Structure 1
Amino acid sequence: MTGTEDVGAEIVEEEVSGDESGREPEAEPEPRGRRAEEGRGHTIVVGAGMAGLAAADLLAERGERVTVLEARDRLGGRIHSVRTWDGVTLDAGASWMRGEENNPLSRLVRDSGARTATFNRSTETAYDPKGRRLLFDRHRRNMEDVNLLHEHMYWATVGATEDQSMEQGIEHALYDVNLVRSRARDATEIVHRIAEADHGAEADEISFTAVGSTHEFSGDDVVFPDGMGELTDHLARGLDVRHEHVVLSVAHDADGVRVRVETPDGEETLTADRVVLTLPLGVLKAGTIDFDPPLPEDKRDAVERLGNGRLEKLFLRFDDVFWGDAEVLVHLGTEEGTWFHWYAGQNVFGTPVLVCRNGGDAARFLAGMEDGEVVEHAMASLRSMFKKAPDPIDHYLTHWMDDPFARGGFSFTAVGSGDSDRVALAEPIEDRVFFAGEATDLEHSATVHGALLSGLREAERILARD
């Protein structure tokens, strides 16, 4: 999603308030989850992202007292919808619902009333390393080759070990399908770029078993013109969410849990029957929270072995659309794999905006630049395709790796890790400390719906044990 939210992003214009954007103020929601019903207890939820709010929402509906602690001054976690540019909403973090049919998010989308829009992928246009537009038949053949490689890779994961990398899988698939010369070059590059965006890592860092572990839904991939944050806002309605509460330590014993936090008014310790932790993998890896007693060894090992992916976004705003009708632009052969996929957002945002995601080594390469240099680098790539492309009038660049409450985009299955690590990460500690978040979900890691399912899973586990 999965995952990667104010995150040091630069923005030039003032953000637009709810009134200025033309939105009607909503009625204050009725408080809920403020006291425990008979037979229920008190649960502290750490993190007001999708996983934490999904858990808190269900617990509150079932009569649990719930207190949500959020380190940031906003909801959403790695979902971060920023309203700017005359009311345009940019999803700086998670933004896609992958397959709208039977997706666990679909019900939440309906309940929240969030608008969705579909990118028209049939307009996808590709350009070669020199910026020359590829013929439609050439690009279609490339994508057929990519699908063939993916199919061979999927079936080859049967019997694969955790020490095999996706890079090895790509090499075997190339040999099996007998692609050569330009077809092999183009298909290989596209497969690598897809892997970097999906996992936030390079193919030689990703376990080959991850190819067969992802589960997709049918239907269109959709985005949210008014921001995916509407989903987390809906879940949080009426809940006791305490912003700017940074967790310092978690202790537990037979009597319950004690969570020490830093607040704007100083340190305090909250007590409850149990706690649900929805910390991103990057935060767990950083070890910024003390545990008493320490986390079990298998959980610590899982945190170390699983991969922490990086994915950053650049939004460019222009005065006019200069790229034609295509809503997806593919640029092959760019430096370090940067600026491979551009998404044209004029139909979604109602203004000329181009969006690009960079993952893995591409993101690492750009991380060494100042924001202005990143924009210049992006424009050099665009101008190789569109010679007269004007300067952008504004930009927004994310820095998820620098965000202390994210420290990355989302988890990935690294070489040497596997399903057992996610199982260990999700295992509760003595019915006191519970763990949720996309990194704890076996079938849908690195996705918003995976985070949702993990939160519901832990809420149901708690409700079943009271």
Structure 2
Amino acid sequence: MSEDVSGESTGEASGAGAGADAGTRAEPRGREAEPGRGHTIVVGAGMSGLAAADRLAEQGERVTVLEARDRTGGRIHSVRPWDGVTLDVGASWMRGEENNPLSRLVAEVGVRTAVFNRSTETAYDPKGRRLLFDRHRRNLEDVNLLHEHMYWATVGASPEESMEEGINHALYDANLVRSRARDAAEIVHRLAEADHGADAEEIAFSAVASQHEFSGDDVVFPDGMGQLTDHLARGLDVRLEHVVLAVSHDGDGVGVRVDTPDGEETLTADRVLVTLPLGVLQAGRVDFEPALPADKQDSLERLGNGRLEKLFLRFDEVFWGDAEVLVHLGTEEGAWFHWYAGQNVFGEPVLVSRNGGKAARFLARMDEGDVVEHAMASLRGMFKKAPDPVDHYLTHWMDDPFARGGFSFTAVGAGDGDRAALGEPIGDRVFFAGEATEIEHTATVHGALLSGRREAERILSAD
């Protein structure tokens, strides 16, 4: 092992990113351990890793953050492909701003937000005909009824029961038939695919009742959610393009072997906090010496890795009216079920669609140009004279070697115990954070934030 004591690297990030003035540098922090504190290496500069590093540095811990990409943020990624438009191509919104722990960070940073509550939503049937307001409202009432039946039915549900089975039971209990059952079931399926990045047959039914929701408005970030991770990274020793290959530990400390632009090296510290996404851990690209405990390995096998991709389409003009959300029933493989109108957020005519689970797998088999054509065919089913887009942006999170998916989901056969096991430290040397280690806040940015702060407090209490 080679001891690294410099705190400097050619790959270091100052914390001045998309949301900061590029001409300024934050004051260095977390470069030296204060009395009674030690040195922690944080693997991953996403929300969980940076939230932990920020807290540790503020409390006098020496912190070194290793990030494989050439940027911070992880699965939060704000890009500017078009003049004056910022797209959050990864995580993009905060669900319920009241009492949400992310709200306090948003207020601290002073990030501009925009309310996005789907208050104006229009729906179209499989033939592209706009549903009457009363029909769509009835559909949404039926969906709420199904969700209520599903929620209460999760009491006593076995880990082997799927959401698909839960939906079928709820349809029977709610006594929905014919077109009402068809429409409500389709909407519930599409919501599940987007929320979990998986099909209803893959998702554990117990997941329906496992997540904690916050009240208040849903908000998005016109100038990019990346401002939040930029803020947390300010002044920290963040080493970009440092791909972690192995994590070892013994009674004396930890060693983290990394591939850097200058070749391989091993960094040593008192402890390491691993915040790698579930898909990366499941891929086994990082060696652990000794091997991970059996309960962690079992959890990695049982938990699900969700697939969710986004398509942004930019047009010369708005042709879809004033609706914030367009719902298209009966589409091929469930693709393009939801379109989100972004003109009020971006200030430009932009439509966004998210596809998860089956729909995402279906589209992944196409070339990018064919995906756009497929999307336009669906849009023209509702708006026959829709013009061609002037540009587009398509995500590929499943193909990203440092993400390997969108977020975790509780698969059939998995449960809260798997997330708890994944988050358990190995002695006082190796710690784990990330949304996959959260029980009530999985697959969310605030869950990642909470997990990072949880482990930071655990590390500080062990010092």
TM-score normalised to structure 1 length: 0.95
Partner of 2:356: 359
The residue aligned with 2:56 is: 59
Specify which of 451, 454, 459 is matched with residue 457 of structure 1: 454
1:83 shift after superposition: 1.3
3-state SS, counterpart of residue 358 of structure 2: helix
Measured after TM superposition, the shift of residue 116 of structure 1 is: 0.5
Partners in 2 of 1:24 and 1:135 — Cα distance?
Answer: 49
- Classify 1:23/1:32 alpha carbon distance in 2 versus 1 (closer, same or farther; 3 Å): closer
Deviation at 1:23, TM superposition (A): 8.1
Residue 429 of structure 1: CA displacement?
0.4
Q: Does 1:284 align with 2:281?
A: yes
Q: CA deviation at 1:430?
A: 1.1
Residue of structure 2 in register with 1:3 after alignment: none
User: Partner of 2:257: helix, strand, or coil?
Assistant: strand
Cα distance in 1 between the residues matched to 2:262 and 2:19: 35
Aligned partners of 2:142 and 2:184 also within 8 Å? yes
Q: Give 1:133 shift.
A: 0.2
1:24, distance to aligned residue in structure 2 (A): 5.3
Deviations 1:267-325 (A, max 9, x none): 00000000000000000110001110000000000001000000000000000000000
2:360 paired with 1:325: no
How many angstroms apart in 2 are the aligned matches of 1:58 and 1:140? 45
**Counterpart residue number, 1:177:** 174
For residues 207 and 69 of structure 2, the distance between their equivalents in structure 1, rounded to whole angstroms, comes to 32
Q: 1:192 aligns with which of 186, 189, 194?
A: 189
Residue 243 of structure 2: which of 217, 227, 246 is its match?
Answer: 246
Secondary structure of the structure 2 residue equivalent to 1:121: coil
2:142 paired with 1:141: no
The answer to whether the 8 Å contact 2:255/2:267 transfers is yes
Cα deviations by residue, 1:218-253 (Å, 9 ceiling, x for unpaired): 001110000000000010000000000000000000
Corresponding position of 1:397: 394
- 1:345-396 CA-to-partner distances (Å, cap 9, x unmatched) read 0010010000000000000000000000000000000000000000000000
Give how far 1:460 is off: 0.2
1:119 CA drift (Å): 2.0
Aligned-partner Cα distance in 2 for 1:286–1:149: 36
Instruction: Give the Cα separation in 2 of the matches to 1:209 and 1:23.
Output: 42
Residue type matched to 1:133 in 2? R
Q: Within 5 Å, which residues of 2 pair with 1:435-454?
A: 435-454=432-451
The structure 2 residue matched to 1:412, chosen from 390, 402, 409, is 409
Matched to 1:57, the amino acid is D
Amino acid across the alignment from 2:40: T
Q: Is the 8 A contact 2:20 2:227 kept in 1?
A: no
- Out of 185, 200, 205, the residue aligned to residue 202 of structure 2 is 205
> What's the counterpart of residue 430 of structure 2?
433
Partner of 2:265: 268
Write the distance in 2 (CA, Å) between the matches of 1:98 and 1:23. 25
Say if 2:233 is the partner of 1:236. yes
Partner of 2:6: none
Structure 2 Cα separation of the partners of residues 407 and 274 of structure 1: 26
> Whole-Å Cα distance in 1 between the matches of residues 142 and 357 of structure 2?
23
AA aligned opposite 2:36? G
**What is the SS of the residue equivalent to 2:403?**
coil
Superposed displacement of residue 25, structure 1: 4.4
- 1:32 alignment counterpart: 29
Deviates more, 1:79-88 or 1:367-376: 79-88
Match of 2:374?
377
Equivalent residue, structure 1, for 2:88: 91
Could you tell me whether the CA contact under 8 Å between 2:160 and 2:413 is conserved in 1? yes
Amino acid at match of 2:156: G
- Name the residue aligned to 1:50: 47
Q: What secondary structure is seen at the aligned counterpart in 1 of 2:36?
A: coil
C-alpha spacing 1:438/1:24, structure 2 compared with 1 (3 Å)? closer
1:369 match: secondary structure:
coil
Q: Percent identity?
A: 82
Q: How does 1:77-116 map to 2 (within 5 A)?
A: 77-116=74-113
**In 1, are the aligned partners of 2:115 and 2:217 still within 8 Å (CA)?**
yes
2:309 matches 1:312: yes
1:84 offset after TM fit, Å?
2.2
Pairwise CA distance, 1:454: 0.3
Unaligned runs of 5+ in 2: 1-15
* Whole-angstrom distance in 2 between the partners of 1:268 and 1:34: 19
Partner of 1:158: 155
Distance 1:264 1:290 in 2: 20
Q: Could you tell me which amino acid in structure 1 is paired with residue 332 of structure 2?
A: E
Please tell me the residue identity of whatever aligns with 1:298: D
Deviation at 1:195, TM superposition (A): 0.1
**Preserved contact between residue 51 and residue 453 of structure 2 (Cα < 8 Å):** yes
**1:121 corresponding residue in structure 2:** 118
Indicate conservation of the 8 Å contact 2:69/2:242, yes or no.
Answer: yes
* Structure 2 residue identity aligned to 1:359: G
- Asked if structure 1 preserves the Cα contact closer than 8 Å seen for 2:19 and 2:230, the reply is no
**Offset at 1:121?**
1.6
Structure 1 Cα separation of the partners of residues 22 and 234 of structure 2:
14
Give the TM-score normalised by structure 2.
0.95
Q: Deviation at 1:120?
A: 4.7
Q: Is the 8 A contact 2:247 2:257 kept in 1?
A: yes
Matching residue of 1:216: 213
- 1:167 corresponds to 2:128: no
Deviation at 1:135, TM superposition (A): 0.3
Cα distance between partner residues in 2 of 1:222 and 1:79: 15
User: CA RMSD, aligned part only?
Assistant: 1.3
CA shift, 1:27, in A, is 2.8
How many residue pairs align between the two structures? 448
The answer for the alignment partner of 1:10 in structure 2 is none
